[in-house]
Structure 1
Amino acid sequence: MKAVVLARRYAKALFELAKEKKIVDQIAAELQAFEATLTESLEVRHFLFSPERSIAEKKDVLQKSLAKACSPLFSRFLVYLLEKRRQHIIVEIATEFRVLYDVHANRIRGLAVSAQKIRKAEMKHLKSSLSKQFNATVELENHVDESMLGGLILQVGGKIYDNSLRNHVTQLEKKLLAEA
């Protein structure tokens, strides 16, 4: 079974349990923090993914280290992943959980690609306009593409809005060639 399909199932199960216990925000934060730790720490990744340590040893260390830092649900979930030998898909689970969490919170994530960093005031205005258009909270991440001459490319809600200078020139060129 593909990792993404499997991760989606685990994420949905965790999300439903968190919703049932009314701790969705807490689980989302714990999962994000754990994912960040996993991404940043080579030692943690090696410990969790290495076959050198037994599952029992990994469970013991995980339970002791997370006992005070995390909710019992999140701690049990990680132990369950270890028991099922699914710890290698935790990042995919976090990604799938984030999708469910965003839907739950009426949030849409997007990307704004520009030639230079978008100023805070412009970003705030852009988010506000998009939030009204999509009737949801819009979270935008700004990526700078120095190869762009100017303009903006937005990827929001599964749609791409290309208002780049390159696109305008291409459209103008097509229009002129069609008229010739």
Structure 2
Amino acid sequence: MSENTTVAISYAKAVRDLAADAGQAKQWSETLAGLAAVAQNPDMVAFLGDEARSRDARVAGFVKVVEDAVDKQALNLVRLLGENDRLGILPEVAAEFEKLRAEAERRIVASVVSAKPLTDEQSNQIKTALGKRLDRTVELESTVDEDLIGGAIIRAGDLLIDGSMRGELEHLAVQMSR
């Protein structure tokens, strides 16, 4: 785990605790997503990386861009990150906060890559089966990859289920080469 990720987790936990006390998890999700988008903007990346400017000037510039869109607590977070030269980790803070929020709300996002588009019935069956197995509410993100030939690959957290024809053929080739 990188140092930035470790630090981002600490900030995300602090925001989670703050949001939980006020019942504002959804609002913080939206706020962090917006701050992360600003931090990832190429012009802002260049601005924050310009060491010819003082750290205070870079922080003030970032605050100026976001101050009308966020509340006082979010501005305090921005200032704290800026004082510690960590505005660039806002996208990681947002991502880690979403993981913590999903865990607290007992939900998980599963990705399904299938050879053909899933029907509503197939999506619902996958959600139900994964929900029972993981004891979570499941949200599906599905994509199509015709190279799978048939079947699907499902990823949910650390769980990987490869039910694709391509995966089966690769497994068979390994077995036959032994």
Scaled to the shorter chain, the TM-score interval is: 0.7 to 0.9
The alpha-carbon deviation at position 83 of structure 1 amounts to 0.5
- Aligned residue number for residue 50 of structure 1: 50
- Aligned residue number for residue 26 of structure 2: 25
Q: How far apart, CA to CA, are the structure 1 residues paired with 2:78 and 2:12?
A: 12
The alpha-carbon deviation at position 97 of structure 1 amounts to 1.2
Q: How far apart, CA to CA, are the structure 2 residues paired with 1:134 and 1:17?
A: 28
Contact 1:112–1:153 under 8 Å retained in 2 = yes
- Partner AA of 1:7 in structure 2: A
Q: How far apart, CA to CA, are the structure 1 residues paired with 2:84 and 2:124?
A: 44
Contact 1:113–1:144 under 8 Å retained in 2 = yes
What TM-score, normalized to structure 1? Answer: 0.82
1:63–1:176 Cα change, 3 Å:
closer
Secondary structure class of the residue paired with 2:147:
coil
- Partner AA of 1:78 in structure 2: V
- 1:16-165 equivalences under 5 Å are 16-39=17-40, 41-165=41-165
1:71-96 superposed Cα distances (whole Å, 9 cap, x missing partner): 21111101110111112222222221
- Partner AA of 1:3 in structure 2: N
Contact 2:147–2:166 under 8 Å retained in 1 = no
What TM-score, normalized to structure 2? Answer: 0.83
CA RMSD of aligned residues (A): 2.6
- Partner AA of 2:129 in structure 1: S
The alpha-carbon deviation at position 19 of structure 1 amounts to 1.8
Contact 1:15–1:97 under 8 Å retained in 2 = yes
Contact 2:13–2:97 under 8 Å retained in 1 = yes
The 10-residue stretch of structure 1 (102-111 or 12-21) with the greater mean CA deviation from structure 2:
12-21
Instruction: Structure 1: give runs of 5+ residues left out of the alignment.
Output: none
Contact 1:62–1:79 under 8 Å retained in 2 = no
- Partner AA of 1:147 in structure 2: D
Q: How far apart, CA to CA, are the structure 1 residues paired with 2:174 and 2:44?
A: 54
The alpha-carbon deviation at position 129 of structure 1 amounts to 3.4
Instruction: Structure 2: give runs of 5+ residues left out of the alignment.
Output: none
1:95-116 superposed Cα distances (whole Å, 9 cap, x missing partner): 2111111111211122111223
For this pair of structures, how many residues does the alignment match? 177
The 10-residue stretch of structure 1 (99-108 or 131-140) with the greater mean CA deviation from structure 2:
131-140
- Aligned residue number for residue 6 of structure 1: 7
